[in-house]
């Protein structure tokens, strides 16, 4: 495992441990469950798994609120289970990446329990405290999860900062001891042999410490979106470079930063091999128009031409300078086939088309659990069935503001993070084969139709298609290395692009609509050889025949294929 930049040739699979596989019948996914699925991931062709947070946590935000960085969450198992997981996956040739959450800790972390005792407690400066301003919050910033970013602490008469939930208190990276703690815990896990980190919300660790009021953009909100004051802040590069210098550069690991709101220009700074600090950046631009507006719950702005523009920008600007992350789904986003495809008439076709469009681009594809079988959004009737702290807070705030319940639920059905967090659908048995007991969150009722077992047996399933896509990437280096170029840029439904490397080339044709679409490509694209498609009855060579609803076809020119 010594080769450099090994992550460029692999596909990453993201596991949300709580929802993947329960092994002991308590309704909660766990490490033994993950261990039991190693052959499944191997058969898919996965080279790297990213595990959502597995550390001790009161689970206000499902592990993104850590109370002990050195022990495994009780519900997930023990340190022995973790060691066994690492060994099992390594033996199968799959690398393991941990999700490190160091923008904040849980309010139940011993550091915070100490810090809130008194103003002169040695841990006080691990967090960010401010005096009340005219008897109120120090500034008007709105938390990502609704309400103010400030929480008042009676005992010491000060407010403490939390960008996320009230139980996720932001660490103060200005404090040398905090940075030392981060280095120490990172070394602990790296020395165990993990293959890298995904650094949760890492671009918010440096804030504007003057805490200016944010401009009022929406009179309906008491507090204001203030992302410009805490994203990619003034000291971010200094913190990250020091982290790399003191810890990360001593290991052959991959560092993946979660970088919401990041532009290609900023990404190039983060990703620079000499002066930067990470290997991959999970940018958000193609799935969230304006994360800064704080209006994630608004109706979709998304159009195919917008998507093409954003993807093309990233493909072009990072080319030969840095490496892209290719994804449409994760644990914070609705299911991709519900959002960008058609779950009714063209479920299979659209799920395969979306995968083709992403996997043929330049970068490392990230597959989020269940995506490979086309899992869909869920629509629970009652807010009580939702578990996500963001969703529940949003609901409470909107109802209090007098919004209409049905309308609020409709937005939740569309965008709630719980859409992606229902249990993995393994088979058509009780609780979808996820558990023998009632799961911590409801199973999507469509598991009888959409599940791994059925798709393993079906040659034409979405799952089998993912296997083929991943195998192709291993076979044809033009998929990893080729230069990207957008074709038919103006088309509102067809996303067509080419990949070129020497005398090898790929033509990727995808239709994002439920209608037939004509192709408008010049004669140099006639011919080639069909290497994958989501329809039957496709000619072996490209003749520019129209694309059928959600059709995807990929043609190859070159010598590597046999």
Please give the C-alpha separations between residue 32 and each of 20, 85, 450, in angstroms, as whole numbers. 11, 7, 24
Please give the C-alpha separations between residue 147 and each of 137, 184, 224, 380, in angstroms, as whole numbers. 11, 33, 9, 24
**Residue whose tokens read 């609704």:** 146
Closest approach of ligand TEU to the CB of residue 341, in Å: 20
Closest approach of Ca ion to the CB of residue 76, in Å: 8
HEC letters along 374-408: CCCCCCCCCHHHCCCHHHHHHHHHHHHCCCCHHHH
Provide the β-strand partners of residue 51. Answer: 15, 98
CA distance 167 to 417: 18
- Residue 178 phi/psi, 5° resolution? -65, -45
Neighbour count for residue 14 (Cβ, 10 Å): 23
The residue from 30, 60, 232, 332 that contacts ligand TEU (CB under 6 A) is 332
Stretch in the footprint of Ca ion (CB under 5 A) among 18-26, 39-47, 292-300, 311-319: 18-26
For position 26 contacting Ca ion by CB under 5 A, the verdict is yes
Provide the β-strand partners of residue 364. Answer: 325
The residue from 147, 260, 334, 365 that contacts ligand TEU (CB under 6 A) is 260
Q: What residue 174 binds from Ca ion, ligand TEU, none (CB within 5 to 8 A, per partner kind)?
A: none
Closest to Ca ion by CB, 78 vs 404, is 78
Closest to ligand TEU by CB, 64 vs 525, is 64
| Residues 446-505 close enough to bind ligand TEU by CB under 6 A | none
Query: Are the beta carbons of 196 and 256 closer than 8 angstroms?
Result: yes
Closest to ligand TEU by CB, 362 vs 416, is 416
Task: Decide: residue 341, CB within 10 A, 0-12 exposed, 13-18 middle, 19+ buried.
Answer: buried
Closest to ligand TEU by CB, 229 vs 495, is 229
The residue from 10, 22, 81, 200 that contacts Ca ion (CB under 5 A) is 22
> What is the torsional sign of CA 475, 476, 481, 487?
negative
For position 296 contacting ligand TEU by CB under 6 A, the verdict is yes
Q: What residue 24 binds from Ca ion, ligand TEU, none (CB within 5 to 8 A, per partner kind)?
A: Ca ion
Closest approach of ligand TEU to the CB of residue 116, in Å: 20
Closest approach of Ca ion to the CB of residue 443, in Å: 15
The residue from 55, 64, 495, 497 that contacts ligand TEU (CB under 6 A) is 64
User: Of the residues 30, 99, 195, 258, which is catalytic?
Assistant: 258
The residue from 151, 417, 421, 505 that contacts ligand TEU (CB under 6 A) is 417
Q: Where are the beta strands (DSSP E) in 271-370?
A: 280-282, 325-326, 364-368
The residue from 30, 61, 342, 398 that contacts ligand TEU (CB under 6 A) is 61
The residue from 12, 28, 66, 463 that contacts Ca ion (CB under 5 A) is 28
Q: What residue 61 binds from ligand TEU, Ca ion, none (CB within 5 to 8 A, per partner kind)?
A: ligand TEU
User: Of the residues 75, 137, 200, 504, which is catalytic?
Assistant: 200
The residue from 269, 390, 418, 491 that contacts ligand TEU (CB under 6 A) is 390
CA distance 284 to 262: 7
Query: Are the beta carbons of 85 and 30 closer than 8 angstroms?
Result: no
Closest to ligand TEU by CB, 10 vs 200, is 200
Joined together, the tokens standing for residue 370 give 């269940």
- Residue among 62, 145, 65 at smallest CA distance from 397: 145
The residue from 24, 36, 263, 305 that contacts Ca ion (CB under 5 A) is 24
For position 229 contacting ligand TEU by CB under 6 A, the verdict is no
Joined together, the tokens standing for residue 347 give 């479920």
For position 144 contacting ligand TEU by CB under 6 A, the verdict is yes
Closest to ligand TEU by CB, 258 vs 551, is 258
For residues 141-151, one letter each, b for 16 or more C-beta atoms within 10 angstroms of the residue's C-beta and e for the rest, the string is bbbbbbbbbbb
With vertex at residue 502, the alpha carbon angle to CA 498 and CA 508, rounded to the nearest 5 degrees, is: 15
The residue from 10, 30, 137, 491 that contacts Ca ion (CB under 5 A) is 30
3-class SS of residue 436? coil
The residue from 101, 226, 281, 496 that contacts ligand TEU (CB under 6 A) is 101
Closest approach of ligand TEU to the CB of residue 19, in Å: 13
For position 200 contacting ligand TEU by CB under 6 A, the verdict is yes
Look up residue 425 and give its DSSP letter: -
The residue from 69, 76, 129, 164 that contacts ligand TEU (CB under 6 A) is 164
- Residue 499 phi/psi, 5° resolution? -130, 125
Q: Is 200 a catalytic residue?
A: yes
Closest approach of Ca ion to the CB of residue 34, in Å: 11
Closest to ligand TEU by CB, 101 vs 506, is 101
Closest approach of ligand TEU to the CB of residue 64, in Å: 3
CA distance 204 to 262: 11
Closest approach of Ca ion to the CB of residue 17, in Å: 10
HEC letters along 57-114: CCCCCCCCCCCEEEEECHHHCCHHHHHHHHHHHHHCCCEEEEEECCCEEECCCHHHHH
Closest approach of Ca ion to the CB of residue 334, in Å: 26
The residue from 67, 201, 315, 343 that contacts ligand TEU (CB under 6 A) is 201
Closest to ligand TEU by CB, 142 vs 390, is 390
Residues of the chain by 3-state class (helix, strand, coil), percent to 5: 35, 20, 45
Residues near 462 by beta carbon (within 8 Å), at least 6 away in sequence: 348, 351, 352, 355, 372, 373, 374, 455
Judged by CB under 6 A, how many residues of this single chain contact ligand TEU? Answer: 14
Closest approach of ligand TEU to the CB of residue 390, in Å: 5
Active site (catalytic) residues? 200, 258
- Applying CB under 5 A, the residues found at the interface with Ca ion are 22, 24, 26, 28, 30
- Applying CB under 6 A, the residues found at the interface with ligand TEU are 61, 64, 101, 144, 164, 200-201, 258, 260, 296, 331-332, 390, 417
């Amino acid at each position: 495992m010594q080769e450099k930049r090994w992550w460029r040739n692999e596909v990453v699979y993201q596991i949300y441990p709580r929802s993947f596989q329960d092994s002991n019948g308590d309704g909660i996914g766990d490490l033994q469950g993950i261990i039991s699925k190693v052959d499944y991931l191997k058969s898919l062709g996965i080279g790297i798994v990213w595990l959502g947070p597995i550390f001790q946590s009161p689970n206000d935000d499902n592990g993104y609120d850590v109370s002990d960085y050195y022990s495994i969450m009780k519900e997930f198992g023990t340190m022995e289970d973790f060691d066994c997981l690492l060994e099992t996956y390594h033996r199968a040739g799959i690398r393991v990446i941990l999700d490190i959450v160091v923008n904040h800790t849980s309010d139940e972390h011993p550091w915070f329990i100490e810090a809130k005792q008194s103003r002169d407690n040695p841990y006080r400066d691990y967090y960010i405290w401010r005096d009340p301003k005219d008897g109120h919050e120090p500034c008007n910033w709105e938390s990502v999860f609704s309400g103010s970013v400030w929480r008042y602490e009676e005992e010491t008469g000060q407010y403490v900062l939390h960008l996320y939930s009230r139980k996720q208190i932001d660490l103060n990276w200005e404090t040398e001891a905090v940075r030392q703690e981060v280095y120490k815990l990172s070394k602990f896990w790296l020395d165990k042999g993990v293959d890298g980190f995904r650094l949760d919300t890492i671009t918010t660790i440096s804030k504007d410490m003057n805490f200016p009021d944010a401009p009022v953009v929406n009179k309906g909100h008491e507090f204001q979106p203030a992302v410009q004051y805490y994203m990619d802040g003034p000291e971010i590069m200094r913190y990250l470079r020091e982290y790399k210098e003191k810890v990360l550069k001593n290991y052959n690991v991959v560092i993946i930063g979660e970088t919401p709101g990041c532009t290609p220009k900023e990404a190039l700074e983060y990703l620079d091999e000499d002066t930067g600090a990470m290997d991959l950046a999970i940018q958000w631009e193609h799935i969230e128009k304006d994360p800064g507006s704080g209006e994630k719950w608004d109706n979709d702005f998304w159009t195919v031409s917008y998507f093409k523009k954003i993807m093309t920008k990233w493909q072009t600007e990072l080319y030969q300078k840095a490496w892209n992350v290719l994804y449409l789904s994760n644990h914070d986003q609705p299911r991709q086939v519900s959002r960008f495809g058609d779950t009714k008439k063209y479920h299979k076709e659209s799920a395969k088309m979306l995968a083709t469009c992403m996997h043929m681009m330049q970068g490392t594809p990230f597959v989020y659990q269940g995506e490979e079988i086309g899992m869909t959004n869920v629509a629970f009737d009652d807010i009580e069935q939702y578990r996500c702290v963001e969703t529940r807070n949003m609901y409470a705030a909107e109802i209090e503001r007098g919004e209409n319940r049905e309308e609020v639920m409709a937005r939740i059905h569309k965008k709630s993070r719980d859409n992606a967090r229902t249990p993995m659908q393994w088979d058509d048995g009780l609780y979808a084969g996820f558990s023998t007991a009632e799961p911590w969150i409801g199973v999507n009722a469509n598991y009888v139709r959409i599940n791994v077992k059925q798709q393993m047996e079906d040659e034409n399933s979405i799952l089998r298609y993912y296997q083929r896509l991943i195998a192709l990437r291993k076979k044809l280096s033009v998929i990893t290395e080729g230069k990207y170029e957008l074709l038919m840029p103006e088309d509102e439904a067809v996303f067509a692009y080419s990949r070129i490397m020497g005398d090898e080339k790929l033509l990727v044709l995808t239709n994002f609509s439920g209608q037939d679409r004509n192709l408008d490509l010049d004669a140099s694209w006639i011919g080639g050889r069909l290497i994958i498609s989501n329809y039957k009855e496709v000619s072996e060579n490209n003749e520019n025949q129209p694309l059928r609803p959600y059709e995807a076809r990929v043609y190859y020119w070159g010598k590597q294929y046999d």
